[in-house]
Amino acid sequence: MLDRSAVAASNPAAAPATAPLAANGLIKQYDQTGVLKGVSLAVEPGTVLGLIGRNGAGKSTLIRAMLGLIEPDAGTATVWGESALRMGDAVKERLGYVPQQPEAMAWLQVGEMLDFIGRFYPRWNAAYVDATLERWQLPRNRLLAKLSPGERQRVAIIRALASQPELLVLDEPASALDPVGRRELLREIASRAGDSGTTVLFSTHIVSDLERVASHVAFLHEGRLLLHSELDSLKERNLRLHVPEAVAAQLREDVPGEVSRRPHPYGGLSITVLRGEGAPWPDLVQVPGVRAEALPLEDLFIEVSA
Ligand SMILES: Nc1ncnc2c1ncn2[C@@H]1O[C@H](COP(=O)(O)OP(=O)(O)OP(=O)(O)O)[C@@H](O)[C@H]1O
């Protein structure tokens, strides 16, 4: 029932080849199971793209393929136009990445690791490191092996941000953080994007985190990208229509932009519509007796993947 034309219309225009990050037709299988089934996605400069999807949707695999950390079976990924699989040092210096499970250099102390990594980055901000370690109460002399998962994630975030990257990629950055840490991180992402124009891609399965900070959203479901849109536009372009039985009986075809259709418990139908960018609402919206309501994003994702 998903109206592919409406969804395609919701995708932002194709990015130039020099987009900070772009995937084109990525396919990846593990054990003969398709994990990425032809994903194309461009992250535009200065945007904060929230990649959302359920557990196992393929978010980490997509991020890793886009950064050249795994080789896709087909398709290409580029970072500022350069093949992700053959990224040079000059491109790597402009990129910050926080993996879902940061691998620490367990035998080093927090401060030693950060000082060591800092030598590879010309724009390393040592003052930011010191201030953030103090604010997050992470002693420089703690062994990385002794950190809790949340503390390890914080150190990985400091490491990525201290290099003052132009492109910041975070894979479920908040998964091990407490609510205060989560909020702080989201604020930091928003301010980096706002003040320095940093381009950000972050994955999450928490819709409220996405709404707090993302300018754009991409919804990945079972290895396919079902939506890619500006967040505000997506909120304005969807409606759930409650259609009384008498009107439903007259409906012969799909409604333009129809995404899903469910029988109403008390008769009639509930139809979710996502109109294309600039497209009008379907005529059904005006029919007497039809009631329309905007959907919370979480519900829209459920309907789109139904
Ligand atoms: N190296 C691997 N070998 C085999 N299967 C893998 C491998 N990496 C990922 N998968 C499988 O691919 C699917 C997608 O995994 P992925 O980690 O990309 O999902 P995700 O959306 O990031 O999930 P989550 O939100 O739980 O982190 C899962 O079914 C996973 O088991």
Q: What are the structural domain ranges in the chain?
A: 4-102+164-233, 237-304
Q: What does the block give as tokens for 229?
A: 């849109």
- Is residue 73 within 8 A of residue 143, CB to CB? The reply is no
* Strand pairing category for 82-83 and 21-30: unpaired
Per DSSP, the three-state class of 65 is helix
Domain 4-102+164-233 CATH class label: alpha beta
Residue with the smallest CA separation from ligand 1 atom 18 is: 58
Per DSSP, the three-state class of 290 is coil
How much of the chain is helix, strand and coil, in % rounded to 5? 35, 30, 40
Residue with the smallest CA separation from ligand 1 atom 13 is: 56
| Distance of alpha carbon 195 from alpha carbon 212, whole angstroms | 17
Q: Which residues of the chain have pLDDT under 70?
A: 1-17, 104
* Interior angle at CA 47, CA 43 and CA 49, nearest 5: 60
Cβ of 264 closer than 6 Å to ligand 1, yes or no, is no
The values of phi and psi at residue 67, to 5°, are: -95, 5
Query: Looking at the chain, how many residues does it have?
Result: 306
Where do we find the tokens 């995708």? 11
Give distance in angstroms: CA of 29 to centre of ligand 1.
10
Cβ of 55 closer than 6 Å to ligand 1, yes or no, is yes
Give distance in angstroms: CA of 72 to centre of ligand 1.
14
Give per-residue pLDDT as tens, 18-29. 799 999 999 999
pLDDT value of residue 104: 67
- As a whole number of Å, the end-to-end CA separation of the chain is 9
pLDDT value of residue 133: 95
Cβ of 33 closer than 6 Å to ligand 1, yes or no, is no
Q: Which of 37, 52, 60 to mutate to test the pocket of ligand 1 (most atoms within 8 A of CB)?
A: 60
pLDDT value of residue 17: 56
> What is this structure's pTM?
0.90
pLDDT value of residue 52: 95
Task: Report the nearest atom of ligand 1 relative to the CA of 31.
Answer: 4
Cβ of 59 closer than 6 Å to ligand 1, yes or no, is yes
pLDDT value of residue 94: 93
